[in-house]
Amino acid sequence: MLLVAAYWRTNLTMRQIGPLFGVSHSAAHRVIDTLDPLLALPPVRCRRIDQVAIVDGTLVPTRDHRLAAPSKNYSYSANVQVAIDADTRLVIATGDP
């Protein structure tokens, strides 16, 4: 579990995080693929009408110019919006180039 938590917290690649835990990058990939779903919060089936959500957006840089649009700083990026509830459960995530 610590390897998975470190992977998501640090945003390191599998090749970088594997040696930190004394395993190969392929073993790190298998561990993350196996244990990652166990750390996910279960989805909520029905939401209250009066529920408050936190909405945020960001530009995610991308190298694929077909999937992205030029932003105001002349780099290509995808526009992503996310809404989460007060329990930090993901409500919706959308993206548009």
**Residue 21 pLDDT grade (very low, low, confident, very high; cuts 50, 70, 90):** very high
Measure the CA–CA gap between 7 and 25, rounded to whole angstroms: 12
For 7-20, the pLDDT digits (tens) are 888 878 889 999 99
What local confidence, expressed as pLDDT, does residue 31 receive?
92
**pLDDT mean over 61-88:** 72
Tell me the C-alpha distance between 94 and 80, whole Å: 6
The CA distances from residue 1 to 33, 48, 60, in Å, are 11, 32, 27
Position 85 pLDDT exceeds 70: yes
**Domains of the chain: which residue ranges?**
2-39, 53-96
Specify the pLDDT at position 76.
75
Evaluate whether 70 touches 84 at the Cβ level (below 8 Å).
Answer: no
